[in-house]
Amino acid sequence: MTVDDPTGATADARSARRIVVDEQQDGRRLDVVLADELGVSRNAAVQRIDSGGVTVGGRPARRSRSVVAGEVIEVPEVAADPVVDAPPLPPVRHRDEHLLVVAKPPGLVVHPGAGHTGDTLVDALREAGVPLAEGGDATRPGIVHRLDRDTSGLLIVACTPEAMEGLVAMLAERRVVRRYLALLVGTPPEPRGVVDAPIGRHPVRRTRFAVVDGGRAARTRYRVLGEGEVTTADGALRTVSSVVCGLESGRTHQIRVHLDAVGAPVAGDPVYGTDRPVATALGIDRPALHAAHLAFEHPVTGEPISLTEPLPDDLASAWSRAGLDRPVGTEEP
C-alpha cells in the first residue's frame, strides 16, 4: 500500500500499511520510526498519529511510545488524492523497444508518492502509451534512477524486463556515466576533488538529508570549470563557480548534500545552504543543477549510447549573468 497524504486527514480503517519494527529501530520513538518509514517530516508523522488509527501490536499508541523489534505498526490508508490530468511527455532524446531517455523539465516529479498522484513523469509515460518495466516498487515502473523534482536533464526509463535488469546492474557496477552541471555559491576548497561521505536523513529535519555517521556510502566527483561574480541587491559582490559533477553512487539529493558539506552549496537551492540574494542576482528560483550527459552501453543490444542535453534557458541565463562560459556537460569531473 502507498500512503498518499502525510497529514493523515481522512482514513479508511479497512486498509492499512503494515510496518514491522526491525532491530535498528528497537527502542526508538514511534513518531521517529514513522517519519523514517513514510519519508515525511516528524511533524507530519505526529499529525498522522494524533489523528487516530495508528496502532502498535493492534492497540492505539502515543507518539512518544518506544517501539520494540518485531512489533507491527499499522498506519491507516488515507483518502485518495484528487484526480489530475497527466502532464505532457517530456522531449524524448532516445527511444527503442527496450528503453527511452527523456529530457526532464524542472518541476516534474519522477514517480508517484506523498502529495503527487497523477502529475508525475510515470503518469506522463503511461498516458503516452509507453510500456514500462515492472521493478521492485509498483509505484515506480520503468524508473531505474531519478532526478529531484527541480533538477532538469536526462533520465533513462526501462520499457522491458531485460532493460530494467541490465540497467539496474549497470548502475550498481558504475557502468553508466552521469555528469551534472551546477552553479555554486562560492567555490569548493579544491579545484578538483572527490567528496566521499555517507548520506542519511538529517537527525533533526527529517525531510532533509545530510552527511551523517552510519549513512549510506556516497561518492561525488567534481571539477571547477570557472569562477564568476554577481552583484546582489545590496551591492555586495559574490563569487559563484561553475562545476561538473560525476556520480559514483545515487543517493537522494547527493550532489546537493555533498557540495553543501564542502561549503559551496548549489545556487538557488531552497533546502541546502540557501542564499536568496545570490539566487535573485542570478535570476533563478530553483537549484542550478542539470543532468547534462549520459553514456552507457545498451543493456540488451550492446550499442553505445551517448547523449548530451544543453542547459535550459533559465540556467543558461544564470551562467551568463555570472560572466561564465556555458558548459557542455561532457567535461571530465
Q: Which residues of 190-215 are buried (b: 16+ CB within 10 A; e: fewer)?
A: eeeeebebbbbbbeeebebbbbeeeb
Enumerate the CATH 3.30.2350.10 domain ranges in the chain, comma separated: 92-171, 174-321
**What kind of fold does domain 11-78 have according to CATH?**
3.10.290
Q: Is 46 helix (H, G, I), strand (E, B) or coil?
A: helix
Those residues with Cβ within 8 angstroms of residue 217's Cβ, 6 or more apart along the chain or in another chain: 198, 249
Q: Coil, helix or strand for 269?
A: coil
Q: Which residues are catalytic?
A: 148
Residue range(s) occupied by CATH 3.10.290.10 in the chain: 11-78
Q: What is d(CA 1, CA 74) in angstroms, rounded to the nearest whole number?
A: 11
The reported pLDDT for the residue numbered 78 is 67
> In this predicted structure, what is the pLDDT of residue 293?
98
CB of 259 within 8 A of CB of 182? yes
pLDDT at 273: 78
Domain spanning 174-321 has what CATH number? 3.30.2350.10
pLDDT at 289: 98
- Selected from 3.30.2350.10, 3.40.980.10, 3.10.350.10, 3.30.230.10, the CATH number assigned to the domain covering 92-171 reads 3.30.2350.10
pLDDT in tens, the chain (333 residues): 233 333 333 334 446 789 999 888 888 999 889 888 887 777 778 888 887 889 999 899 888 899 999 999 999 876 655 667 888 999 999 999 999 999 999 999 998 876 667 789 999 999 999 999 987 777 789 999 999 999 999 999 999 999 999 999 999 999 999 999 999 999 999 999 999 999 998 888 777 899 999 999 999 999 999 999 999 999 999 999 999 999 998 898 999 999 999 999 999 999 997 789 999 999 999 999 999 999 999 999 999 999 999 999 999 999 999 999 999 999 999
Sheet hosting strand 72-78, strand order edge to edge: 11-20, 72-78, 55-56, 59-60
Q: Which of 293, 205, 208 is nearest to 244 (CA)?
A: 293
**pLDDT reported for residue 82:** 61
**3-state class (DSSP) for residue 124:** helix
Q: Report the predicted TM-score, pTM, of the whole model to 2 decimal places.
A: 0.76
